[in-house]
Structure 1
Amino acid sequence: MQSEQQLVQEYRKTGNLQLLGRLYEPYMPLVYGLCFKYYKDEAKSEDAVMQIFESLITKLRIHEVSNFKSWLYSLARNHCLMDLRIGNRISVVDIDEHLVESDLFLHQHDSGERIPEERLVLMESCLGELNAEQQTCVRLFYLEQKCYREVAEITGYDLNKVKSHIQNGKRNLKICMEKKQG
């Protein structure tokens, strides 16, 4: 019996879907349970289990994975959150100054208010005007709801640089939106 790490490495080399199936199969009930926790719908959760497997086909060959179980958990959680966010058309969170400064920011802040479409268009326009580092960090942190550590891992930036890019990007975004609203 091959270890998980050996299966991951072998799959990365060969792309053999049978290897990926052997790797994923023991975790299917756990992934289903996680999805069910978010969706509270059996059919949607079953579909998500298959969609996550399909995303594994490419993502596992791209990403270096040392702990498959925890990586899979993050992948599944992010899949569910992104799917729910798209389904609810939640694309913006409140970006008050004190929330960005706090390491305790939990991303679940939702005032329940809908943001008018023109504000969303304005925000997207201003996001495009940020420098590349700020834009990337702000998008990952606020729109994809990654934590500081995840943003640092994805971008390769130092954790303090990530916090700085997010803070400066948020401030520049606010200034740009205020100017354009006039």
Structure 2
Amino acid sequence: MIPVKHIEKAPETDEALLLAFKESGSQDVLARLYLRYTDLVYGTCLKYLKDAEASKDAVMNIYQELLQKLPTHEVQNFKGWLYVLTKNHCLMQLRSAKKMVTVEFQPAVMQSEDFMHLDSVLEREQDFKKLENCMEHLPEEQKKTIRLFYLQDKCYNEIVEETGMEWNKVRSLIQNGRRNLKICMEKHD
């Protein structure tokens, strides 16, 4: 009997695995390809995110991105393309983290939230009463144009049409009325 030598199969190239994935859509094929570069992906994520757990999450999220993007992209050099995809993913994570505002948890404030809300409601109600009182002290034309502009959301042209006043007079009445209200409100503080 002749001994049979075990013939080792040559490792598949990135290009062959990429083509096989595009043809079959098989996640097993993509996983074999991706596993070759998980150290590169993780290292890149760690470089940008500077957090091990966030980097591990990013490695998983990037795999999901590959599932979506590879079928529609023409990739010549998978390793280079994957590096750029990873870098962009990390930069997007960093940008979105900057937009999120972190607030320190303060139990004392949390326990009194209902009272704080009640205080702000009461203050607002007092401000409305002051405003109503100050509105009553405005000259009649100012009061009318202020009500039309702010309370009924009418533009200058609509007020001109409704009142028959000139456009410049309407503008002047609203500006003067707003200034007079501000002075009155400050006086009653």
Higher alpha-carbon Rg? 2
Q: Which has the higher contact order (CA 8 A, sep 6+)?
A: 1
Provide TM-score, normalisation by structure 1. 0.48
